[in-house]
């Protein structure tokens, strides 16, 4: 399963408890079809102390991955949610293009 967004893209959440929020993609998991978005899908983890890594236990908040189908890319130039088109350049490389404004997405 592939993921239509890349690390560093700004996305808007389409469904779930965080619907309408925007965040930056921290990492992608293409094998699972999931993305990790900064500040989105926060859950509480009850953690016990593990001295080298976690000196103090307790309830920690952590961002969890969510399905890539629930996010939509936000174009950096027109700042609207958009689908992606692929454009072939003269040097045979492909770039992502915004369907709304037609500009390249870096």
Tens of each residue's pLDDT in the chain, 106 residues: 788 999 999 999 999 999 999 999 999 999 999 999 999 999 999 999 989 988 888 999 999 999 999 999 999 999 899 998 999 988 989 999 999 888 988 7
Q: Are strands 94-98 and 58-63 parallel, antiparallel or unpaired?
A: unpaired
Per CATH, the number for 1-74 is 2.30.30.30
In the chain, what are the helix, strand and coil shares in percent, each to the nearest 5?
Answer: 5, 45, 50
Domain locations along the chain: 1-74, 75-106
Cα 53 from Cα 46, distance rounded (Å):
15
Whole-model pTM?
Answer: 0.82
């Amino acid at each position: 399963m592939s993921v239509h967004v890349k690390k560093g893209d700004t996305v808007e959440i389409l469904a779930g408890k965080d619907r309408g929020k925007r965040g930056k993609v921290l990492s992608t998991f293409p094998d699972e079809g999931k993305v990790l978005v900064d500040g989105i899908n926060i859950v509480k983890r009850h953690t016990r102390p593990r001295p080298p890594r976690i000196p103090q236990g307790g309830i920690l908040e952590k961002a969890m991955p969510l399905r890539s189908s629930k996010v939509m890319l936000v174009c950096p130039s027109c700042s609207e949610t958009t689908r992606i088109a692929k454009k072939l350049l003269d040097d045979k490389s492909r770039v992502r293009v915004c369907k709304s404004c037609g500009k390249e997405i870096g």
